[in-house]
Structure 1
Amino acid sequence: MTTTAKPTLQDFLDYLEGLRTQGQVVHDERTQAWMVLGQPEVDEVLHNARVFGSDLSELVPMSDEFTLFAKGNFVQMDDPRHKQLRGMVSRAFTPRFVAGMEPAIHDLTVELLDAAGAEFDLVDALAHPLPVIVIANLLGIPLSDQAVFRRWADTLLDRDVPQDKPIAQIREEITAQVAPVMREMNDYFLEFIKQRRRNPGDDLTSKLTMVEEEGKRLDDVEIVGFVGLLLLAGHITTTATLGNSILTFHENQDAIAEVRRDLSLLPAAIEEVLRLRTPFPRVARVTHEETVLGGVTIPAGQMVLPMLTAANRDERVFPNPSRFDLHREPNHHASFGRGIHVCLGAPLARLEARVALKIMFERYADIQVVEDGVEERNPFAMVAVTKLPLAVRPV
């Protein structure tokens, strides 16, 4: 029996650059989708929500489980419903609200690292529990269910992403595979939201049950999509960013030495990690009308895939795109999206990464990756480590 090796990040990058030899906007016959590779072209797709819509339900039939989850998941909505729902959620999830979480993130990071010792797996010890605990506390969800949340994330992300089938068919097959987990998630969140509506507390979920716009409140099903999205996508993004940062720093020792000498460079270092190891490699759109993109005519009703990883390595915008450059300026990567769908949780992910990495640099004089123990996700689905064993030397 033969097993197929999991593709590496370099395999994924080679695939993208192979497509790019055909142009910055390429129709892929195998997937029956339009691959958008260039940064300006991706930027145009993400900003032009009128032409490039996010509601793919007409192209990809959804199961009942996904339909329920999608009712409050404004990431896959078009305006005006997107604007209405995101606006209501934004009233509870403000930048000031996020900034106020920094002391708690700091204390939790210290607590988790105190328990880690001199050799530990970064994902198990810090990168996974930190954002899960932060978001669970934020939402009021029991911390005792951490293992359940991780199982959900692993089921949704640890899967093959074939490149030889139409995207619509791939999405349909994946939908069928993960439907049981989606059903479990929906039941869990619905019950939790009902409890919060009956007995509100000082948490974001309770606030969402009370947010009003023109006399209308979010119903329980609408809150499910946002709570589920924040819990899963929110913690996965930070977990990936922390792991990707330590791995990238390990591969660029001169840069890490410079950051250690001047921790004010840390935010720039994180942005460069996000560019080089983009956690979510692509998003999906559908054309509402015939349009011209990058000199290529795309008919209406077509699946369009802005490849964020490729856009972030477009040498027309990022000189020496494969180089980790602490002083890259400007660094307008597309890792958190653009336009009306720019990631609502990006400020929280950046804050968690900045606080945690700063504490690690101050705490450890040396951080070494045990390379033969590193395990990564399938980069066609997500660029992230699942295991990152470290050996550290305290200051």
Structure 2
Amino acid sequence: MTTTAKPTFQDFLDWIETRRKEGQVVYGEQAQAWTVLGHPEVNEMLSEPTVFGSDITSAMPQVDDELSLFSKGNFVQMDDPRHRYLRGTVSRAFTPKMVANLEPRIEQLTNDLLDAAGTEFDLVDALAYPLPVIVIANMLGIPISDQALFRQWADALLDQDVPQDKPVADVRAELFAKMAPVMREMNDYFLAFIRDRRRNPGDDLTSKLTQVEEDGKKLDDEEIIGFVGLLLLAGHITTTATLGNSLLTFHENQDAIAEVRADLSLLPAAIEEVLRLRTPFPRVARVTRQDTVLGGKEIPAGQLIAPFLTAANRDERVFANPNRFDLHREPNHHVTFGKGIHVCLGAPLARLEARVALRIMFERYSDIQVVEDKVEERNPFNMVAVTKLPLVVRPV
């Protein structure tokens, strides 16, 4: 799809279903890559990292040095054994106990931010962006006074046009050429911060990363850039998107949300259904590491392949009435946070932040209305999220 106007979420869903008519696993001649739409097929891909690798550099042309620098510590795009070691170095910061211990702080932040918001406010500006940024920045030791800068980076990286009628390799090269200045600014910022933490360590996660050793050798500053950048950006973007997507979905499903208001124990199920219907990261990328068969299609080694999480989450073979918000959907085996060795490390934190923030909003406000004609959304081929969600609320 190439258009001068930003595609809507419905445009994206229509594109998916048009492709699905060709099959659940489709090779795109224009994109020169495979698209995987079905839930069982995506599930199989995510569960077999030895067949479907996350390090796609072998299938893509060399990109800008700034991205290469950022990628040195980006374990999301690595395969084992390197991935296993690097992910293990940060996983201790996201244990169930450590995440649960953050709940009082998340409650306090949510109430403080909403106290300052009034009765007419933009959800993203007032709560959905600052809440997770403050939480993850505090974990990393990064100054929260720079949160406006972090938002600029996220907007610049996520608001790019992603044409679907050009080779993926060409699109990727064009995107990274546009993003190089932002990547350079990010790398310079993180490198200076990491070097300061190495000289003046504290009790934060970044300081701990400077002390990590692999085979008797500490991670160098350049390797830590990808760690810190990934945790900061991914650590807030998913929650920001989930909060906005939740309020928008709740607005569209008033009867179901009335049921949640009457019984807040249903809130976690409501959030899971939002995550299924409005999957924040719509797709990921893999490369075949060997000849394989997926969905009845023979795929040679070295092929770029994109599992569409949004499409998998709306596969009618798995989800009855897949386009319907069903508060009581059971089971709800969505793949929003991935599966297998690359399952989202921050998923428990994102769920906790969403649950706490939405519960407090329901407790504080007897009515929450979205100003529909002023809602602004991201390009859904990049990310399914709102950038503006004006609300009018009525305090209890």
Q: TM-score range by the shorter chain?
A: over 0.9
* 2:308 match: 307
* 1:19 match: 19
1:114-153 CA-partner distances (Å, limit 9, x unpaired): 0000100000000011111111111111111111100000
* 2:330 match: 329
How many Å apart are 1:315 and its aligned residue? 0.4
TM-score normalised according to structure 2 size: 0.97
- Which amino acid is the alignment partner of residue 59 of structure 1? A
* 1:276 match: 277
1:370-389 CA-partner distances (Å, limit 9, x unpaired): 00110000101110000000
Aligned-partner Cα distance in 2 for 1:196–1:145: 17
The answer to whether residue 169 in structure 2 is matched with residue 168 in structure 1 is yes
1:133-192 CA-partner distances (Å, limit 9, x unpaired): 111111111111111100000000011110110111111111111011111111111110
How many Å apart are 1:78 and its aligned residue? 0.7
Report if aligned partners of 1:93, 1:204 keep a CA contact under 8 Å in 2.
no
SS in structure 1 at match of 2:210: helix
Aligned-partner Cα distance in 1 for 2:89–2:122: 39
Aligned-partner Cα distance in 1 for 2:166–2:315: 26
SS in structure 2 at match of 1:210: coil
1:79-136 CA-partner distances (Å, limit 9, x unpaired): 1111111112213432322221111111000000000001000000000111111111
* 2:112 match: 111
How many Å apart are 1:213 and its aligned residue? 4.9
Aligned-partner Cα distance in 2 for 1:378–1:393: 31
Aligned-partner Cα distance in 1 for 2:149–2:283: 26
* 1:91 match: 92
Report if aligned partners of 1:88, 1:212 keep a CA contact under 8 Å in 2.
no
- Which amino acid is the alignment partner of residue 51 of structure 2? V
1:38-70 CA-partner distances (Å, limit 9, x unpaired): 000000111110111111112222211111111
* 2:289 match: 288
Aligned-partner Cα distance in 1 for 2:213–2:66: 26
The answer to whether residue 13 in structure 2 is matched with residue 10 in structure 1 is no
SS in structure 1 at match of 2:281: coil
- Which amino acid is the alignment partner of residue 38 of structure 2? G
* 2:339 match: 338
Aligned-partner Cα distance in 2 for 1:213–1:283: 28
Tell me which moved more, 55-64 or 206-215.
206-215
* 1:148 match: 149
Report if aligned partners of 1:377, 1:383 keep a CA contact under 8 Å in 2.
yes
Report if aligned partners of 1:127, 1:240 keep a CA contact under 8 Å in 2.
yes
Aligned-partner Cα distance in 1 for 2:335–2:101: 26
Which residues of structure 1 form unaligned runs of 5+?
Answer: none
SS in structure 1 at match of 2:57: coil
Alignment of structure 1 residues 159-308 onto 2, 5 Å: 159-308=160-309
How many Å apart are 1:210 and its aligned residue? 2.2
Report if aligned partners of 1:88, 1:213 keep a CA contact under 8 Å in 2.
no
Aligned-partner Cα distance in 2 for 1:351–1:298: 39
- Which amino acid is the alignment partner of residue 120 of structure 2? E
- Which amino acid is the alignment partner of residue 224 of structure 1? I
The answer to whether residue 359 in structure 2 is matched with residue 355 in structure 1 is no
Aligned-partner Cα distance in 2 for 1:123–1:129: 8
How many Å apart are 1:257 and its aligned residue? 0.3
Tell me which moved more, 66-75 or 211-220.
211-220
Aligned-partner Cα distance in 1 for 2:228–2:214: 19
How many Å apart are 1:290 and its aligned residue? 1.0
How many Å apart are 1:9 and its aligned residue? 0.6
Aligned-partner Cα distance in 1 for 2:96–2:205: 13
Report if aligned partners of 1:31, 1:165 keep a CA contact under 8 Å in 2.
yes
TM-score normalised according to structure 1 size: 0.98
Task: Provide the alpha-carbon RMSD of the alignment.
Answer: 1.1
Aligned-partner Cα distance in 2 for 1:304–1:9: 22
Which residues of structure 2 form unaligned runs of 5+?
Answer: none
Tell me which moved more, 382-391 or 192-201.
192-201
How many Å apart are 1:214 and its aligned residue? 4.8
How many Å apart are 1:212 and its aligned residue? 3.7
